[in-house]
């Protein structure tokens, strides 16, 4: 897993990645709850729940590349399924893709599990 990330960004870039992860997760949760409360259409609900589950992984910063790819695929599938307003799905797909490419940052479970360890003697 360490090969997927060159470094885990700290400082302002790390805070920016944390903010991006939290924003993406909050939007994914919001739209999943809205979808469940307003419709019973099963295929789009499954896509929303899949995106929300990946949003939980993004929020925690766990398996971020995989979660970002899942978000991007789910949101693009929703765009293809002819939703009324595709722009929020496109934005969420872009957020998922960028998080998959950039990584979670220093304030994540991935950084704790797969980051470089300092060995003291």
**Whole-angstrom distance, CA of residue 83 vs CA of residue 16:** 30
Q: Please give the pLDDT value at position 4.
A: 53
Q: What is the DSSP string of 32-92?
A: HHHHHHH---HHHHHHHHHHHHHHHHHHHTSSHHHHHHHHHHHHHHHHHTT-S--HHHHHH
List, in order, residues 6 or more apart from 71 with CB less than 8 Å away.
24, 28, 51, 54, 55, 58, 92, 93, 95, 96, 99
Residues, the chain: 121
Question: Could you report the per-residue pLDDT of 19-33, keeping only the tens digit for each?
Answer: 999 999 999 999 989
Banded model confidence at residue 115, pLDDT cuts 50, 70, 90: confident
Looking at residues 25-46, what average pLDDT do you find? 83
Contact of 107 with 14, CB cutoff 8 Å: yes
Contact of 45 with 35, CB cutoff 8 Å: yes
**Whole-angstrom distance, CA of residue 121 vs CA of residue 113:** 21
Residue 2 has pLDDT above 70, yes or no: no
Banded model confidence at residue 83, pLDDT cuts 50, 70, 90: low
Q: Please give the pLDDT value at position 40.
A: 63
């Amino acid at each position: 897993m360490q090969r997927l990330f060159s470094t885990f960004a700290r400082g302002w870039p790390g805070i920016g990645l944390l903010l991006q992860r939290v924003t993406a997760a909050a939007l994914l949760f919001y739209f999943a709850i809205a979808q469940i409360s307003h419709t019973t259409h099963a295929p789009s609900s499954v896509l929303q729940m899949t995106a929300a589950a990946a949003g939980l992984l993004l929020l925690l910063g766990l398996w971020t590349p995989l979660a970002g790819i899942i978000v991007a695929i789910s949101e693009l599938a929703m765009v293809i399924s002819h939703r009324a307003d595709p722009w929020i799905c496109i934005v969420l797909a872009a957020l998922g893709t960028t998080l998959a490419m950039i990584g979670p940052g220093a304030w994540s479970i991935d950084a704790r599990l797969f980051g470089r360890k300092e060995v003291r003697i």
